[in-house]
Chains A and B, each alone.
Chain A
Amino acid sequence: MPKLTIDGKEIEVEAGTNLIEAARRLGIDIPHYCYHPGLSIAGQCRLCMVDIEKTPRPTIACNTAAADGMVVHTQTDRVKDTRRSIMEFHLINHPLDCPVCDQAGECFLQIYYMQHGLYDPRMVDEKVHKPKAVPLGPHVILDAERCILCSRCVRFCDEITGTGELGIFSRGDHSEIGLFPGQDLENNYSANVVDICPVGALTDRDFRFQVRVWYLDTTPSICPGCARGCNIDVHVNRTRPHHAGGRRVARLKPRFNAAVNAWWICDLGRYGFDRVDDPERIRFARHEGVDVLRDEALGLLVAALRDHAPEEIGIIASPDLSNEDLFALRRLAEHRGIRQVAYGVPPATPAADDDFLLRADRHPNTRGAEAIGIEADAAPILARARAGGLKVLWVIQHDLTACGWLAGDVAEALGRVGTVVFTGTNDNGMSTLSPLVLPLAAWVERDGTFTNFLGRVQRLRAAVEPLGDALAPWDLFGRILYMLGGPAPLGRAELWFRELAKTVPAFASLTYQSIGSEGAMLAGAPPTTAPEPPGRRVKTPA
């Protein structure tokens, strides 16, 4: 393995590591635009120049592999001067419209100008004009004047999705990013180009003009959109809700995890948070169509669970619930001796895995439900209800009126059950026809863990407060358990996780600390890596 010196510090790196990555490990940031660790090397922006001893002039770091004995300087006068020049070239035709640009505050033209530019502008001639506010697809909009032609988006569509919608057209300073004729940027990963765009050229049609990025708070979490469990950051607007019409979640951004999703997430997951701030959220408990106090509703539910024989009670809980939630539910069922508890309800329209990250199973925690020992198939519960064997049916987050079961079967079952209880985040067919409804906190409002389809246990974290009287499922279940004569409720999701780890061997070695920000595997599950993208394969960096 080559050992080299960067700014006087020695480091040993794997053969083939480029100088940007080698320096990064030493905490040295080499400015760059076109280089992205998930894409091929383009070497176009020319900003990542460093001085290498025994070479006549500054060299780009991105295309230089670390070599044994190499001595690299990133802060010589010559390097600083070159960076200043390159920054000037990047900015002469830039519209400098930061006050109306959504990228402002997270724009690498701003950041690098302050760090490496700070020259006096000399450009007095007319700038080159290019198309502005061009929709490229359902999610992405282009301002070609702001574009610095780093080609990251083009390489993304070639190398990651393999869909090739984008190209660079024309020459010289009239070059511009654009769609090939007849194409739209509408693959299911399209909005990743917004994330990798280092400037304000590609912006998110959903996010733009909503809120300034410096008003956003960031909470690391897990996408609940499918069984992959892509790592994300939830950006919430707490301080300026009036800027976005009261919308609390401003956007989701992928969070790098080499073991799960690398740098990417799909558009389905990225824009799947709209239900969180939806007017259809259930905020308060309801009985017979009238809002009631939460304690009153809890009392009614507890009475239903207490006053019927366990074999007359069925519980269908969605694997949208976390490990903590499902384990609390298991404890509750065990306490009452309820055997008919299952999570699996077929989806209304069966999906298939896509060729990259998205899984057919659109629930984030099916593997967790299975590991915790919840029954997979809920069909026997439905059958028993239809046969008149159930007095109480408690449905948690599933919508039986819009699933793969025959509508007639579901209607028949619900009609024959005495008490139907629905607990969920949003109104749907179930909440309409259930006499008793209790609100649940949405996934951005609660702590917990999901277990992805490969057995990786990952943390989701509360980014905002629950709406109205909504409780996290583990909290709700804990309170019911207590009211049924069980142990005192646990006050935090983590305490339920400890109980889970004590009880279920697959979780035995895990704690919130060991799960950390990258997740940890269930006992016996082999370690994972992010899948290879379907596009033209590129060498993934060491």
Chain B
Amino acid sequence: MAEIVLMRNFDRPDSHTLTAYRNASGYTAWTKAQTMEPAVLVDEVKKSNLRGLGGAGFPTGMKWSFIPKAHTGPVYLVVNADEGEPGTFKDRYLLEHDPHALIEGMLITARAIRSTLGFVYIRGEYVQPWRRFSAAVKEAYDAGLLGQGFEVVIHRGAGAYICGEETGLLSSLEGKKGWPKIKPPFPAIKGAFGQPTIVNNVETLCCVPPIIQHGAAWFAGLGTKTQGGTRMYSMSGRVKKPGVYEASVSITLRQLIEKAGGVSGTGRLKGVVPGGGSAAILTADEIDVTMDVDGLKNAGTMVGSAGVIVMDESVSIPEALFVLARFYAHESCGQCTPCRESTGWIEKMVHRILEGHGRKDDLDTILDVAKRGGGTTICAFYDGAIGPYISYIEKFRSEFEALCRA
């Protein structure tokens, strides 16, 4: 039986309450952390090989260490709970079933980065997670866990995917249009309201209490050489038992699909998106890869938010691409020209192909436009969008060509 870390409390009755969390020895890591120096906490997380689980996979401890040492003003901790990546629904389970784990993670992190104020930016559509988390915050205040040097402010988003991008989130939090900020400066130097800010994903912070409780070596040992721990995989699409599964980051994609009951529909796999909508697709014979950050990077795709979307042979890849192309055209914030203009253009081209008015050179135009726009924008939105544009067409070109007239 593989180690269950993040979902350890999910099956307990009323797992979202402080009582249940305490009964499961909750907040003992916080008690322990209070005896540790901030620098030791940062070091421990560094040694655990914890990498950001929101999408970018950046080493968490290293991110924390970017806060300027000489800074004397406020430092903010911002929790990214704007889970919006297509095919991803893990953070909602954490917020609904174990909100105190996040609060404990925030307390420890705040101590590590010397922050006295945390913001939790919750996706607007997440009503139940927001209710559960708000209730947990109230319990934590009443119990004297919060309000003793660390305050938490909950902010609800209004439904824009781009507000899950860390600096888009900060703009939105500041009351502005959710446009990603130009870097440099990076948030750790100048983030929310112009102050040094650490933005971490919900799941990432939920890993922090177990790391402190059981030690960095234990956590690192759960994963691969370059990434520690387990993570939650959102399994959707044509699998027999869709849902959230926790497993080590060293599990292979094939094992993961088996864990979710195997391929449904025709039972024959056509392709898998391993890391949310923005990850490049893998074909049926590319699934013997480990699900850690580097494993999937080497396979030419990314683990992203670990939202696994399985497609059986009955799925039309051009239709699947159109769903995503429409999504990216709709969600592009419109700030940078290449992303603003080409997401709409590509959506129109893919749509035209589906309508039977495609031309074979449209495919080359899409590929060329996507490749030219890559790496030219303020944030990673467009680099995410071109993952599917390019991989769906390159790996399943014949399906597209069959729809094209000339």
Contacts and interface: CB of A to CB of B under 8 A. Distances in A.
- Physical interaction between A and B: yes
Interface in A42-61: 42-47, 49, 57-58
Contacts of B195: none
Contact of A171 (B332, B345, B376, B377): B332
Contacts of B348: 125-126
B365 interface: yes
A350 interface: no
A137 interface: no
B340 A168 contact: no
Contact of B340 (A58, A85, A149): A149
Interface string B119-158: 0000000000000000000000000000000000000000
Interface residues of B, number: 31
Contacts of A122: 365
Contacts of B365: 122
Interface stretch (A14-22, A89-97, A223-231, A287-295): A89-97
Interface in B307-365: 329-338, 340-345, 348-349, 352, 365
A175 interface: yes
B12 interface: no
B341 A44 contact: no
Of B333, B340, B373, B377, the most chain A CB neighbours within 10 A belong to B340
A85 B162 CA distance: 24
Given A41-B182, A49-B376, A171-B334, A93 B352 contact: no
A141 to B, nearest CB: 22
A93 B341 contact: yes
Given A46-B377, A92-B345, A149-B337, A167 B177 contact: yes
A44 B336 contact: yes
Given A42-B182, A93-B344, A174 B375 contact: no
B184 to A, nearest CB: 8
B344 to A, nearest CB: 4
B376 A46 contact: yes
B182 A43 contact: yes
B177 A172 contact: no
B378 A171 contact: no
Of B348, B352, B377, the most chain A CB neighbours within 10 A belong to B348
Contacts of A81: 372
B330 A46 contact: no
Of B331, B337, B340, B341, the most chain A CB neighbours within 10 A belong to B337
Contacts of A58: 376
Given A43-B378, A167-B177, A173-B343, A86 B331 contact: no
Interface in A100-130: 122-123, 125-126, 128
A60 to B, nearest CB: 8
A144 to B, nearest CB: 12
Contact of A46 (B177, B184, B329, B338): B338
Interface in A134-164: 148-149
A148 B177 CA distance: 18
A128 B344 contact: yes
Nearest to A43: B182
B375 to A, nearest CB: 5
Contacts of A149: 334-335, 337, 340
Contacts of A57: 375
Contacts of B336: 43-46
A86 B329 contact: no
Contacts of A323: none
Contact of B338 (A85, A167, A171): A85
B160 interface: yes
Given A44-B335, A85-B372, A89-B342, A172 B377 contact: no
Contact of B345 (A45, A63, A123, A167): A123
Interface in A350-368: none
A46 B348 CA distance: 23
Contacts of A89: 337-338, 340-342, 373
Contact of B182 (A47, A63, A171, A174): A63
A82 interface: yes
A45 B182 contact: no
A337 B47 CA distance: 95
B162 to A, nearest CB: 8
Nearest to B338: A89
Given A86-B338, A89-B337, A173 B344 contact: yes
Of A89, A148, A170, the most chain B CB neighbours within 10 A belong to A89
A172 B330 contact: yes
A44 B341 CA distance: 12
B334 A174 contact: yes
Given A123-B345, A167-B177, A46 B337 contact: yes
Contacts of A173: 329, 332, 334, 340-341, 343-345
Nearest to B378: A43
A126 B349 CA distance: 10
A89 B369 CA distance: 9
A125 B340 contact: no
Contact of A172 (B331, B352, B373, B375): B331
Nearest to B362: A124
A45 B338 CA distance: 8
Contacts of A43: 182, 336, 378
B364 to A, nearest CB: 10
Given A44-B336, A175-B334, A85 B344 contact: no
B221 to A, nearest CB: 34
Contacts of A167: 177
A85 B373 contact: yes
A148 B337 contact: yes
Nearest to A171: B334
A42 B377 CA distance: 12
A175 B340 contact: yes
Contacts of A86: 337-338, 376
A238 to B, nearest CB: 38
Contacts of B341: 89-90, 92-93, 173
B289 to A, nearest CB: 25
Interface of B: 160, 162, 177, 182, 184, 329-338, 340-345, 348-349, 352, 365, 372-373, 375-378
Given A89-B337, A174-B334, 13 more contacts: A46-B337, A46-B376, A46-B377, A58-B376, A92-B341, A171-B160, A171-B162, A172-B329, A172-B331, A172-B332, A173-B341, A173-B345, A175-B340
26 contacts: A42-B182, A43-B182, A44-B378, A45-B336, A46-B336, A46-B338, A46-B377, A63-B184, A81-B372, A85-B338, A86-B338, A89-B338, A89-B341, A89-B373, A123-B345, A125-B349, A126-B348, A149-B340, A168-B177, A171-B331, A172-B330, A172-B332, A172-B344, A173-B341, A173-B343, A174-B334
Interface of A: 41-47, 49, 57-58, 63, 81-82, 85-86, 89-90, 92-93, 122-123, 125-126, 128, 148-149, 167-168, 170-175
Sort A-B residue pairs by CB-CB distance and give the 3 closest, nearest first: A175-B334, A173-B344, A85-B372
